[in-house]
Amino acid sequence: MRTALIAGNWKMNGSLALVERFAQAFVETRMPAGVEVALMVPSPYLDAARQAFGGTLVATGAQTLHSESGGAFTGEVSGSMLAEFGARYVLVGHSERRTLFHEDDAAVLARVKAALAVDLVPILCVGESLTEREANRTEAIVLGQVAAVFDVLEPSERERMLIAYEPVWAIGTGKTASPEQAQAVHAAIRARLKEYDAALAAGTRLLYGGSMKAANAAELLAQPDIDGGLVGGASLQIDDFLAICQSA
Ligand code: PEP
Give the residue extent of every domain in the chain. Answer: 4-247
91 and 123 Cβ atoms separated by less than 8 Å: yes
d(CA 41, CA 49): 8
Write down the pLDDT at residue 32: 85
Write down the pLDDT at residue 139: 98
94: annotated active-site residue: yes
Is 90 a pocket residue for ligand 1 (Cβ < 6 Å)? no
Is 9 a pocket residue for ligand 1 (Cβ < 6 Å)? yes
CA of 202 to the centre of ligand 1 (A): 25
DSSP designation for 10: -
CA of 97 to the centre of ligand 1 (A): 13
Closest CA to 185 of 164, 162, 155: 164
- 96 burial class (0-12, 13-18, 19+ CB within 10 angstroms)? buried
172 is in an annotated binding site: yes
Write down the pLDDT at residue 1: 83
Dihedral sign, CA of 3, 92, 87, 198?
Answer: positive
Q: Of the residues 66, 94, 96, 128, which is catalytic?
A: 94
- 53 burial class (0-12, 13-18, 19+ CB within 10 angstroms)? buried
Is 230 a pocket residue for ligand 1 (Cβ < 6 Å)? yes
11 is in an annotated binding site: yes
Q: Whose CA is nearest to atom 6 of ligand 1?
A: 232
Nearest atom within ligand 1 for CA of residue 125: 3
9 is in an annotated binding site: yes
Long-range contacts of 189-193 (CB under 8 A, 24+ apart): 189/126, 189/142, 189/143, 189/146, 189/163, 189/165, 189/225, 190/225, 192/143, 192/146, 192/147, 192/150, 193/146, 193/150, 193/158
User: CATH code for 4-247?
Assistant: 3.20.20.70
Report helix, strand or coil for 38. strand
Q: Which helix (H) or strand (E) holds 3?
A: none
Write down the pLDDT at residue 55: 83
Q: Whose CA is nearest to atom 7 of ligand 1?
A: 232
166: annotated active-site residue: yes
Q: What is the mean pLDDT of each run of 10 residues along the chain (248 residues)?
A: 96 98 93 93 97 92 98 98 97 98 98 98 98 97 98 98 97 93 98 98 98 96 98 97 96
Is 209 a pocket residue for ligand 1 (Cβ < 6 Å)? yes
Maximum distance among all Cα pairs of the chain, rounded to whole angstroms: 48
Closest CA to 120 of 160, 164, 154, 156: 160
Q: Of the residues 96, 132, 166, 186, which is catalytic?
A: 166
15 is in an annotated binding site: no
Write down the pLDDT at residue 177: 92
**pTM (whole model) above 0.90:** yes
